[in-house]
Amino acid sequence: MIAPMCLFCRILEGEMAADVVRETGLSLAFRDINPQAPTHILVIPRRHVANLFELAEYAGELADVVALAGSIAEEEELDKGYRLVANTGSQAGQSVYHAHLHLLGGRDLGWPPG
């Protein structure tokens, strides 16, 4: 049996629609379908790896994801602050096992997170 393609890989392949914000040769950024803040954007590598830690093996691609998130934060005028979140594993609430950063901003963000 062939395994179904990862959800974010399907977005990368254009098989599923997404509200794309920006892209680079290595990364794609699109708005989260279930936003938790006025700005809630997912930044993902084109490479399929399960989480951000696995992406650390590919330093240039990790840097591209982080730099793209920071650049979008500037464009979204999140000058008062924003949060980059990488849920890793089920106990942290990871639901899609393709590395991604959540870029959250536009409201006061509580600490500690839930």
Concatenated DSSP letters of 48-59: --SSHHHHTTSH
Note whether 87 binds ligand DGP by CB under 6 A. Answer: yes
Q: Verify binding: residue 82, ligand DGP, rule CB under 6 A.
A: no
Q: Which two tokens stand for residue 80?
A: 């008062």
Instruction: Give the per-residue contact string, 16-55, with ligand DGP (x = CB under 6 A; - = no).
Output: --x-----------xxxxx-------x-------------
Query: Least separation, in Å, of the C-beta of 13 and ligand DGP?
Result: 13
